[in-house]
Amino acid sequence: MASYDIAWAAGLFEGEGTVTRTKGIPRLALKMTDFEPVRRFASIVEVGKIYGPYGYDYKDKIVRKPFLYWVAMADEAVEVALVLEPWLCERRQQQIAGILEGVLV
């Protein structure tokens, strides 16, 4: 991976990504209606899985674009987090430190 690709992926994740734990397991996700950046992100980080496209149920009668969802969990999430972390703002770095707490020994 070229450093400019990682920087691009970190910038996209900074704005569109989420950092969480699911049942104690680290989880990174990216959800967007623009498919090309999600696919490019996945090809740069080389792990995780893309789901979708998904639509909305339109209960409120507002039509929304379909979206793709990239997700990495457990070891894959840790791998991506460690690659992106140096390029992220302090708030995101703290979120990553929080999900990695107790994972890295």
Distance of CA 53 to the CA centre of its chain: 16
* pLDDT above 70: percentage of residues in the chain: 96
Q: Find the mean pLDDT for residues 7-34.
A: 96
pLDDT score recorded for residue 105: 47
34, 33, 42: which is closest to 8 by C-alpha? 42
Tokens of 18: 């989420």
Q: Give the pTM.
A: 0.88
| DSSP conformation class of 86 | G
Domains and CATH numbers, the chain: 3-100 (3.10.28.10)
Report the percent of the chain where pLDDT is more than 90. 78
